Amino acid sequence: LTARLAELRDLPAETVDGTRIRLSANIEFPYETAAALERGADGIGLYRTEFLYLSSQQEPSEEDHYEAYSQVVREMNGRPVVIRTLDLGADKMGHRPLAEHEHNPFLGLRSIRLSLRNLDVFRPQLRAVLRAAVHGDIRLMFPLITTIGELRQARMLLNVVAEDLKDSGIAHRSDIPVGMMVEVPAAVVMLEHFVREVDFLSIGTNDLAQYTLAVDRSNEYVADLYQSSDPAVLRLIKQSVTVADKNEIPISVCGEMSSNPGRALLLLGLGVRHLSVPPSLLPRVKKAIRSVSIQQCKEIAQRVMTLEAARDVDLYLLDRLGDLV
């Protein structure tokens, strides 16, 4: 670690007018906590647990889940750790085929839908999360929530699992915060209803862009259309932040959009106060945050919201970034 990076690690992610931004890390493996801490992360904003599946030869057991989560939360030493339940399917496949061949996997049996249909896979993960929560500040997040019914089903299963642990006298915590990803346009549209049943929200701009723009995020033929800075996506982000603020529910952005410095400043201007980015990009984003005022970010957002195309948005952001950072 260079001296510059070490110095930046110890400085707060604060705008020039003194607004503290929470800056967390996205991780996929427990060993990444070291990189997150080295770069001064405020916590883990997104732990993509499906990599537990993708990296081993066999299906992880409850103990495998428990070991991984305990390690992460212990190493983060009191800082919050948001564990996202399995996001398998579509681009991330497991060991045994959990779904038959699908013509449109991104519109198919993936993520929370897959978990809710395979309780033998989902239940051990939920048990492990509640057990590991005795070691620190663990928060649970469900991905790809589309309907209120899915959220209720997932929460109900969590309650059942907690009861089972209690009946068996196994150490656990049943009162951890539960949140959901906002990454399907339907969830944004219905967010006023979701906020009554969650403790926090996190916007997944990768999937939100994919589903808003009808662009497969992994299809190179339409890659030019896949832009989180598209004005339609920006409107959904703004709407989500407005609903969250009105209901006093914390909201973060953990999609890749938050690790692009220009787009990160735009998010601050739209009212976002918590960003989560890959560990390697923490210094870059922190530097951008520390070089602007919230007023400047608001002006950027105001101007951006008048633009009609992603290209115009990105050109404008690049131009402003050149002046500011």
Q: Which is nearer to Mg ion, 143 or 262 (CB)?
A: 143
* Count of residues making up the chain: 325
Nearer to Mg ion, 277 or 289 (CB): 277
CB of 16 to ligand PEP, least distance (A): 29
- The binder of 151, among ligand PEP, Mg ion, none, by C-beta within 5 to 8 A per type, is none
Q: What is the rounded end-to-end Cα distance, in angstroms, of the chain?
A: 22
In the stretch 175-194, what mask flags binding to Mg ion with x, by CB under 5 A? --------x-----------
Residue 205 binds: one of ligand PEP, Mg ion, none (C-beta under 5 to 8 A by kind) = ligand PEP
The closest of 176, 10, 192, 202 to 87, measured between CA atoms, is 202
Residue corresponding to tokens 């085929």? 97
Report in angstroms how near the CB of residue 310 gets to ligand PEP at its nearest: 16
Distance of CA 87 to the CA centre of its chain: 12
Residue 43 interacts with Mg ion (CB under 5 A): yes or no: no
Among residues 32, 50, 150, 207, which is the contact residue for Mg ion, using CB under 5 A? 207
The first and second tokens of residue 207, run together, are 């999937």
Q: Which parts are annotated binding residues for Mg(2+)?
A: 183, 207
CA angle 127, 129, 131 (to 5 degrees): 70
For Mg ion, the closer CB: 15 or 210:
210
Q: How far is the CB of 43 from Mg ion (least distance, A)?
A: 19
Tokens of 263: 């787009």
Interaction of residue 136 with Mg ion, rule CB under 5 A = no
Pick the closest to residue 205 from 242, 244, 252 (CA basis): 252
Footprint of ligand PEP on this chain (CB under 6 A)? 46, 48, 87, 183, 204-207, 254-255
Residue 216: phi and psi, rounded to 5, are -60, 120
Where do the DSSP E strands lie in the chain? Answer: 22-27, 44-48, 81-84, 138-142, 178-182, 200-203, 251-253, 274-277
The answer to the question of residue 216 lying near Mg ion (CB under 5 A) is no
Smaller CB separation from Mg ion, 183 or 314: 183
Asked whether 86 and 111 are in contact (CB, 8 A), the reply is yes
CB 58 within 8 A of CB 75: no
Nearest distance from C-beta of residue 57 to ligand PEP, angstroms: 22
Q: Which does 262 bind (CB under 5 to 8 A by kind): ligand PEP, Mg ion, none?
A: none
Contact status, residue 265 vs residue 297, Cβ threshold 8 Å: yes
297 flagged as catalytic: no
CA angle 16, 26, 251 (to 5 degrees): 60
- Pick the piece of the chain touching Mg ion (CB under 5 A) from 68-76, 123-131, 207-215, 277-285: 207-215
Nearer to Mg ion, 8 or 114 (CB): 114
Question: Which residues, 6 or more positions from 264, have their beta carbon under 8 angstroms from its beta carbon?
Answer: 257, 258, 275, 277, 285, 288, 289
Q: Whole-number minimum distance, CB 206 to ligand PEP, in Å?
A: 3
For position 45 contacting Mg ion by CB under 5 A, the verdict is no
Nearer to Mg ion, 244 or 292 (CB): 244
Catalytic one of 129, 201, 254, 281: 254
Least Cβ distance, residue 58 to ligand PEP (angstroms): 23
Binding-site residue numbers are 48, 84, 183, 206-207, 217
Contact footprint for Mg ion (CB under 5 A): 183, 204, 207
> Active-site residue numbers?
254
